[in-house]
Structure 1
Amino acid sequence: MEKIDILSLDLDELAEILTSIGEKKFRAKQIFQWLHVKRVLDFDKMTDISVQLRRSLNEIFCINRLFVQKRLESAIDNTVKYLYRLSDGNFVETVLMEYSYGYSICVSTQVGCKMGCNFCASTIAGYVRSLTASEILMQIYEAERDSGKSVSGVVLMGIGEPLDNFDNVMKFLHLLSHKGGNDMSLRHVSLSTCGIVPRIYELADMKLQLTLSVSLHCADNEGRSEIMPVNKKYDLPSLIEACRYYIDKTGRRVTFEYAVIDDVNSSSADADKLAKLLRGMNCHVNLIPVNKVRERNYHTARSGVAEFAKQLGRRGINATVRRTLGSDIEAACGQLRRDAAQQNEKNGGADT
């Protein structure tokens, strides 16, 4: 019988399984705290439960592990990038970032990405599968264990499209915010999507109070479809309508991510289109210098990003330029995973 991934279970699910094998319901809370507060990786270390129950846990459950394949630390700003190897030999990336208010972590939600955005490294090595709730959660636990730092904010902006892995991401958020475990307010969580419109409506109705970040990157329908294939299925007008619904339903401001790409979306006319598109919305525009990707020819002049921000400001749109972190360690998601996957292929599929 295949063992159950215990870290992906919420407290009620764990209690149901334990009571089905004749254990008291309160045992679930003890075990849940061992896993999510004390962060043990071995059932035998749960010293306040009986040897017999620990034996039963080992027979029924597994604790899903991630293994640090590579760790890069920036000499510029203390950003740490992790390449994790999963139990099946696949790889994902996580970035731990230091800010004046504490530490934030950018986690991946899938192995690869199927969205195909032209300027993104995450999609180049291909999509393999979605991560489980425990595999998303363990990116935080392992980074905290390795660094000795406590994470106060989470960004779902790594490899993968979170809303394409909706159920596992929602389970992750439930576990992250559970009062018996991490007890993190979802106001400290930002979820980034390229625009899976039906899921935005569903997320809005859940009223989780997290920050919705929408990867916009172009303010006209035709241009967005050229660089973001998802726009051919969920076009710009329907995306903006969904964002307005999210704002109305949750009372939360939406962040629009906009990678400023020279000769693609950075002109004065583009600023006009973006201002017209967003005028009157409770939103913020986060301008991003596009990351260099070996297989792509997109580039951004830093001065061009600052100028684009000024143009938006003159048009009444609140915009800032994202602070670039970990530039000396290629902290943009997708590059380490792609290289590791290629090396794995050279080695005949063996774990490296």
Structure 2
Amino acid sequence: MKEEHPVLKGKTLSELQALCTSLGIEAYRAKQIYAGIYKSRYTSLDQFTTLSKEIRELLKEKTVFPEIKLGRELISKDGTRKFTFDVEPGKEIETVWIPSADGERKTICISSQVGCTLNCSFCATGLLEYKGNLQTWQIVDQVLQVEKIVQDRATNIVFMGMGEPLHNYFSVMKAAHIFHDMDGMGLGAKRITISTAGVVTGINRFIDNKEPYNFAISLNHPNPNARSSVMDINKKHPLEKLLESARRFTQELDRMITFEYVMIPDVNMGKENAERLVRIARSVNKCKINVIPLNTDFTGWRRPTEEEVGEFVSYLRAKAGVPILNRQSPGRDINGACGMLALKGVRNEGSNKN
């Protein structure tokens, strides 16, 4: 890709208008380009037949219309599909397609960084070398490429793949706006979820900007001191400050916030932890808690038994006064579940794609 040439993908309508003007193309053509990329999902400039051949040739000469490159694919017995993509030479990411059992909900879990800037103890991505933030077009193209491969459209998009989305705030939010824009991909704001391990400054920026999207915080331990042993981000953004931002979110935006909680026996599932989690839920009020059984074992921690999960969830449901959802672990058999995205099993195993 020629660095001096602008990339068409990942640009907003206003950016495309400015680009057209700079190239001597009528500004109104930008809307046709925008619709071709995001609504029609064109993969080549030759498909933009609403544009004259002269304009198409000019765009070929002065811009680039790239794709991230599919590496490998694995398909789970539950229908989850995991893909690796090469975004640049030596830089790989993973993206996951997660259909619901009834086929009505089709979620794409997308990455925002190559590797991750954090080192959460339960998450395999943190073991990878961090190689940089994804550009907006590389974030958007994950959705375009997965939809093309599976021959279907996503109903939901979650920024819960590789990386910390709020450490790539502007590219992530720009991609979310393109997903949401009715002239773009047209997804409702409640069908787009931004997640964070707890970057308080990013949460506050999200609130200040009154972003309309769903928001999730990976909590994973309710004890202010013990949380640091599970999530190193707690040292820079302590739990107390994180919860202050969560309360501010619910109060100022008048919306529910989601806490993600990875259940780890002998670490965060004891009665005292459950009681602390209940107090947090009650203090935030407008929240729900998604509990997820631990999926990784490289720390020496083990996955909870069904009995342990049942006991923990039953206590929360009886005491917390907020919705408690057990998210299970779709795609676990292909290392595609929560905390498992580390290019494992895709680089070294053959695809089981038919």
TM-score tier after normalising by the smaller chain length: over 0.9
1:337 to 336, 340, 343: 343
Q: 1:1-352 counterparts in 2 under 5 A?
A: 2-75=4-77, 77-99=78-100, 100=102, 101-280=104-283, 281-293=285-297, 295-301=298-304, 302-318=306-322, 319-332=324-337, 334-337=340-343
SS in 2 for 1:86: strand
SS in 2 for 1:69: strand
Please report the TM-score for the alignment, with normalisation by the length of structure 1.
Answer: 0.92
What one-letter code is carried by the residue in structure 2 that aligns with 1:162?
P
Q: Deviations over 1:121-147 (max 9, x none)?
A: 011012111111111111111111111
Unmatched segments (≥5 aa) in structure 2: 350-354
Q: Is the 8 A contact 2:128 2:342 kept in 1?
A: no
Q: Is the 8 A contact 1:125 1:338 kept in 2?
A: no
Please report the TM-score for the alignment, with normalisation by the length of structure 2.
Answer: 0.92
199 and 335 in structure 1: CA distance in 2 versus 1, 3 angstrom threshold: closer
Q: Give distance in 2, aligned partners of 1:298 and 1:211.
A: 30
Runs of 4+ with deviation above 3 angstroms: 333-336, 338-343
| Number of residue-to-residue matches in the alignment | 341
| Identity level (%) | 30
Q: Deviations over 1:60-110 (max 9, x none)?
A: 2112311221111112x2111111111333111111111233211111111
Q: Deviations over 1:27-60 (max 9, x none)?
A: 1111111111122222122222122211211122
Q: Is the 8 A contact 1:285 1:317 kept in 2?
A: no
Q: Give distance in 1, aligned partners of 2:235 and 2:341.
A: 26
SS in 2 for 1:5: coil
What one-letter code is carried by the residue in structure 2 that aligns with 1:59?
E
Q: Give distance in 1, aligned partners of 2:53 and 2:280.
A: 62
Q: Give distance in 1, aligned partners of 2:133 and 2:347.
A: 16
Q: Give distance in 2, aligned partners of 1:145 and 1:196.
A: 33
How far the C-alpha of 1:153 sits from its partner, in A, is 0.5
Partner in structure 1 of residue 352 of structure 2: none
SS in 2 for 1:6: coil
Q: Give distance in 1, aligned partners of 2:66 and 2:210.
A: 29
How far the C-alpha of 1:205 sits from its partner, in A, is 2.2
SS in 2 for 1:97: strand
Q: Is the 8 A contact 1:123 1:334 kept in 2?
A: no
SS in 1 for 2:302: coil
What one-letter code is carried by the residue in structure 1 that aligns with 2:97?
L
How far the C-alpha of 1:334 sits from its partner, in A, is 4.8
How far the C-alpha of 1:340 sits from its partner, in A, is 6.5
Q: Give distance in 1, aligned partners of 2:214 and 2:99.
A: 19
Q: Give distance in 1, aligned partners of 2:17 and 2:310.
A: 53
What one-letter code is carried by the residue in structure 2 that aligns with 1:327?
R
